[in-house]
C-alpha cells in the first residue's frame, strides 16, 4: 500500500505535513527546500549511522574477495590459470563440424554461380572504367582493357 504525501491539512504547509508523515523534525523540513545541500549531508549522516564506507576505502578487500571466489570456482580446470596476477586462458582447439554442415555447403555451392574471378574483374573494369582511376607503379596510366 502506498502512502500519499498530503499537500495541505488546515493551516500547515506541505513540508510540515511531509515531515510528519516521514517522521522528520518539522522544523528542519523547510530547509530541504531552501538548501539543496541538506539532502547530500543527510546521506552522509545515514552512511555514518549504518557504518557504511566509501568504495575506495574497501576496494582492495572487494578485489581480494572476488579473486578468491574466482580461484575457488576454477578448481581443477587447467585451462584457466592466474599467472602473475593476470588471467591466462588456454587456447581453444578446433570445434567439431556440425552434422548438417556438408549438406549446407552442398546447397550453397549449387546456389552460387561458377565464374572465373579474373574474368569478373575484367568485366567490372570494362563497365565502370575503374582502371582509369589507377596509376601503374611505373607512373604510366593503365591500359584500356579490351
User: In whole angstroms, what is the distance from residue 130 CA to residue 124 CA?
Assistant: 8
The percentage of the chain sitting over the pLDDT mark of 90, rounded to a whole number, equals: 9
Higher-confidence position of 108 and 74: 108
For the stretch 62-99, pLDDT in tens is 888 887 777 676 667 778 777 777 878 888 888 899 99
Residue 142: what pLDDT?
58
Length of the chain as a residue count: 146
Burial of 53 per CB tally in 10 Å (0-12, 13-18, 19+):
exposed
pTM of the model: 0.24
Model confidence over 2-21: pLDDT tens digits? 444 444 445 567 767 777 77
Amino acid at each position: 500500500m502506498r502512502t500519499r504525501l498530503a499537500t495541505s491539512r488546515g493551516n500547515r504547509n506541505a513540508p510540515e505535513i511531509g515531515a510528519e508523515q516521514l517522521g522528520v523534525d518539522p522544523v528542519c523540513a523547510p530547509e530541504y527546500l531552501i538548501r539543496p545541500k541538506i539532502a547530500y549531508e543527510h546521506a552522509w549522516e545515514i552512511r555514518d549511522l549504518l557504518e557504511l564506507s566509501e568504495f575506495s576505502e574497501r576496494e582492495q578487500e572487494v578485489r581480494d574477495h572476488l579473486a578468491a571466489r574466482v580461484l575457488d570456482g576454477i578448481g581443477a580446470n587447467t585451462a584457466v590459470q592466474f599467472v602473475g596476477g593476470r588471467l591466462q586462458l588456454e587456447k581453444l582447439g578446433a570445434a567439431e563440424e556440425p552434422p548438417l554442415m556438408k549438406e549446407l555447403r552442398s546447397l550453397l555451392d549449387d546456389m552460387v554461380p561458377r565464374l572465373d574471378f579474373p574474368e569478373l574483374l575484367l568485366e567490372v573494369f570494362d563497365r565502370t572504367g575503374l582502371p582509369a582511376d589507377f596509376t601503374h607503379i611505373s607512373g604510366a596510366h593503365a591500359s584500356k582493357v579490351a
